[in-house]
């Protein structure tokens, strides 16, 4: 084996090992992603159990409550406005009919 | 409005003012932490989202059988509430799932059938709005599919186990968590009845308006 080849073989081996490692990781990644979290059969109060991992939950919680209350409020306002508009039209038409009756 | 409407509306408002206090005092859940408290508004919204298409479907079936306008008006009012409570359920659910499951959405049987139920509600309203003459009967047919979908939504989590909690979590709740939940359920139920009453009132007023236009034309 020439000196240049003897230096090249370990290098090729290293490249092959790294390539195999990358290939294995790439093959395992989707499998790891496909594992869904386990479903919960019951809800347990926090009590003495260790505190859950602190991922910011407050924005999601506050957002949910704000969306529900704002959505319900918007619907009540929309319903009231529609009711008011129809009642006004009814009153106007009833007045028109009365005037016609007199005429 | 009927005599009971104003006291009931005041009671409902009071319940919605008190509910955050009860929810704040309820304990966090051991695995999900604070974000679990979305449940106190998510689940009552979801139950109203199941109740509304049932009311819509039964009223539509009665309308198809008897042809009474009152049944049709009730179905239309309930369809609007299907869309409202469906939207609240489908928005609060992903907000909870983001923290609890690490994802906004999964295409499991519960979430997908809920989305389908919500779209059936929209289909009903779009038909009524743009369907032209005869759309009332066509929409009533659509509403039947919406009602049939309700039991499927409810049992889906028990037949197809996914990451969505099954229906058995509710009876197993300890008092500290169950009390605020049932309080919110009653608040939402009262709100549902009040909104149905208002919406039916609107339909009755529209019917009166149509009659007046006909009388003016004659």
pLDDT per residue over B15-57, tens digit each?
A: 999 999 999 999 988 888 888 899 999 999 999 999 999 999 9
Q: Is the pLDDT of residue A30 over 50?
A: no
- The answer to whether position B27 is within a domain reads no
Please give the ipTM for the structure prediction.
0.91
Cβ atoms of residues B74 and B201 within 8 Å: no
Task: With beta carbons under 8 A apart, name residues in chain B contacting A87.
Answer: 205
Task: With beta carbons under 8 A apart, name residues in chain A contacting B17.
Answer: none
Q: Whole-angstrom Cα distance, residue B217 to residue B211? A: 10
pLDDT value, residue A32: 47
Q: Where are the beta strands (DSSP E) in chain A?
A: none
Helices B135-159 and B109-130, interaxial angle, to 10°?
170
Give me the total of CB pairs closer than 8 Å, taking one residue from chain A and one from chain B. Answer: 140
Q: Is the pLDDT of residue B126 over 60?
A: yes
What is the residue range of B115's domain? 33-217
Task: With beta carbons under 8 A apart, name residues in chain B contacting A57.
Answer: 33-35, 99
Are the Cβ atoms of A79 and B198 closer than 8 angstroms?
yes
Task: With beta carbons under 8 A apart, name residues in chain B contacting A61.
Answer: 34-35, 37-38, 95
A11 touches chain B (CB under 8 A): no
Nearest CA in chain A to B216: A97
Min distance A30 CA to chain B CA atoms (Å): 16
Predicted confidence band of residue B167 (pLDDT cuts 50, 70, 90): confident
**DSSP, res B29:** B
**DSSP, res B89:** H
Q: Whole-angstrom Cα distance, residue B74 to residue B69? A: 9
Lowest model confidence (mean pLDDT) among A85-89, B4-8, B102-106:
B102-106
pLDDT value, residue A102: 60
- The answer to whether position B6 is within a domain reads no
Per-domain boundaries in chain A: 1-35, 58-103
Q: Whole-angstrom Cα distance, residue B169 to residue A70? A: 28
How many structural domains are present in chain B?
1
Averaged pLDDT score across all residues of chain A: 75
Write the CB contacts of A86 (distance below 8 Å, at least 6 apart in sequence): B202, B205, B206, B209
Predicted confidence band of residue A23 (pLDDT cuts 50, 70, 90): low
pLDDT in tens, B193-211: 999 999 999 999 999 999 8
Whole-number CA gyration radius for chain A:
36
User: Which site among A35, A38, A41, A42 would you substitute to test the B interface, given the most B Cβ atoms closer than 10 Å to its Cβ?
Assistant: A42
Task: With beta carbons under 8 A apart, name residues in chain A contacting B76.
Answer: none
Option in B168, B209, B212 nearest A41 (CB): B168
Task: Establish how many alpha carbons lie within 13 A of residue B153's alpha carbon, considering only the half-sphere containing its beta carbon.
Answer: 25
- Return the residue matching tokens 């195999």: A20
pLDDT value, residue B33: 85
Predicted confidence band of residue A44 (pLDDT cuts 50, 70, 90): confident
Q: Which residue has the higher pLDDT, A8 or B69?
A: B69
Are the Cβ atoms of B92 and A45 closer than 8 angstroms?
no
Predicted confidence band of residue A56 (pLDDT cuts 50, 70, 90): confident
Averaged pLDDT score across all residues of chain B: 93
Predicted confidence band of residue A50 (pLDDT cuts 50, 70, 90): very low
What's the whole-number mean pLDDT along residues B64-88?
Answer: 95
């Amino acid at each position: 084996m020439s000196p240049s080849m003897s230096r090249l073989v370990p290098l090729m081996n290293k490249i092959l090992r790294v390539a195999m490692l990358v290939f294995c990781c790439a093959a395992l990644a989707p499998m790891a992603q496909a594992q869904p979290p386990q479903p919960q059969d019951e809800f347990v109060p926090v009590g003495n159990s260790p505190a859950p991992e602190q991922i910011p939950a407050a924005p999601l919680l506050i957002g949910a409550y704000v969306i529900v209350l704002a959505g319900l409020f918007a619907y009540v306002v929309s319903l009231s406005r529609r009711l008011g508009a129809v009642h006004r039209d009814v009153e106007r038409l009833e007045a028109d009919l009365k005037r016609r009756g007199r005429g | 409005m009927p005599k009971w409407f104003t006291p009931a509306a005041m009671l409902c408002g009071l319940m919605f003012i008190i509910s955050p206090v009860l929810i704040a005092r309820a304990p966090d859940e051991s695995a999900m932490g604070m974000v679990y408290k979305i449940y106190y508004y998510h689940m009552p919204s979801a139950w109203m989202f199941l109740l509304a298409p049932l009311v819509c479907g039964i009223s539509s079936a009665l309308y198809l059988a008897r042809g009474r306008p009152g049944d049709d008006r009730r179905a239309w009012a309930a369809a609007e509430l299907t869309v409202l409570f469906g939207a609240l359920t489908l928005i609060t659910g992903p907000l909870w799932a983001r923290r609890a499951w690490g994802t906004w959405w999964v295409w499991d049987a519960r979430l997908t059938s809920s989305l389908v139920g919500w779209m059936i509600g929209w289909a009903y309203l779009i038909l009524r709005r743009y369907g032209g003459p005869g759309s009332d009967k066509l929409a009533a047919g659509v509403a039947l599919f919406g009602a049939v979908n309700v039991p499927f939504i409810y049992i889906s989590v028990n037949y197809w186990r996914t990451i969505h909690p099954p229906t058995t979590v509710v009876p197993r709740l300890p008092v500290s968590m169950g009390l605020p939940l049932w309080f919110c359920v009653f608040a939402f139920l009262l709100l549902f009845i009040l909104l149905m009453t208002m919406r039916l009132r609107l339909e009755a007023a529209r019917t009166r308006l149509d009659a007046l236009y006909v009388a003016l034309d004659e």
